[in-house]
Amino acid sequence: MVDYIGVADMQRLVRRIGVASFIERLASEIEADFRRWSLFEKSARLASHSDIGVIELMPTSDGQLYSFKYVNGHPKNTERGLLTVTAFGVLADVATGYPLLLSELTLTTALRTAAMSALAARWLALAGSRTMALIGNGAQSEFQALAFHRMLGIRELRLYDVDATATDKLAHNLAAQPELADLTVLRCASIADAVRGADIVTTVTADKRNAVILTPDMIEPGMHLNAVGGDCPGKTELHRDVLLRPDARVVVEYEPQSRIEGEIQQLPASFPVVEFAQVLRGEATARMSPRDVTIFDSVGFALEDYSALRFLHELLHDGSEAPNRIDLIPTLADPKDLFGGLLGSAGRTTLRRVA
């Protein structure tokens, strides 16, 4: 039997812990695993692209546990009443190859993306940052708002989306969260209005194209840019000249993957970047000056999903409740009798030796 977390199970876990607390605890798990960066197998994700979306597999292992995530990204899905991103994942024991956990990751991906964003900002943004512009108010936006409020102390949130109903949805959901009572939420008429004077700018848009959400004239010294939305070849959110600013410092999760799918796909392979693990481990410094513009070119990496699956598996076994389990793997009295297991007769057949 294999532990299983479905959507209802995930909802129950998050309600028990609280969304913001869950994100903060998950961020701690992600940070701990990034500090073990050298132990992990790393590869760019395997992607199958079409004109309307992408389906990807994201595997990694630290030699003890193995995980993978299946995830899609289809920006036009909302026109059909479907989610833009869906996902599920597996955590397995390397010693036996047996899966330990099969879990939904659609909700979890939103939580871990927000956790990663806020974790990176803790290390890259200026201390005392209190104002954030949130460009793109779709499915990821509430999670980002809660994460930055909880983990960085953001107290003013400026919203903009080309779809006003998405902003309405976001503002309504944020107003319903008691812990955000001290958060001032402002609707802005344009991207430029939203980012003016902001300490942190988060872009989380979904179009599968080379969009230009932020232009050089919008960027102010000391800003931290959290570019979340760009996550496949041919999709970007930042004008390339933002990346080329002399005071810009670009941080990525895993450079080979970001070269393919991140904002830096617009730039030559020689363009210098720093991996987040290097910053955490004291091997590199992202911000040299309070006037530097730090850019977290985030595309999501398999290690973050490994951390999420490991965290979920631990939550299932913390004694709070009995985990759900499914019969994904046969249990046989004789592990060599798979045929008998198929027919339901494994372990019951007696063979007589012929003299």
Residue pair 159/189 in contact by the 8 Å Cβ criterion: no
Q: Which of these is catalytic: 3, 231, 292, 305?
A: 231
51 is catalytic: no
Cα–Cα dist 294/125, whole Å: 7
CA atoms 16, 8, 78, 308: torsion sign: positive
Residue pair 294/118 in contact by the 8 Å Cβ criterion: no
Cα–Cα dist 76/95, whole Å: 41
Rounded to 5 degrees, φ, ψ at 314 are: -65, -40
Residue pair 147/115 in contact by the 8 Å Cβ criterion: yes
Helices (H), 197-345: 240-243, 255-261, 276-280, 302-316, 338-343
- Take residue 78 and report the two structure tokens written for it: 């909302």
Nearest to 115 by CA among 89, 95, 137, 144: 144
* Positions marked active-site: 231
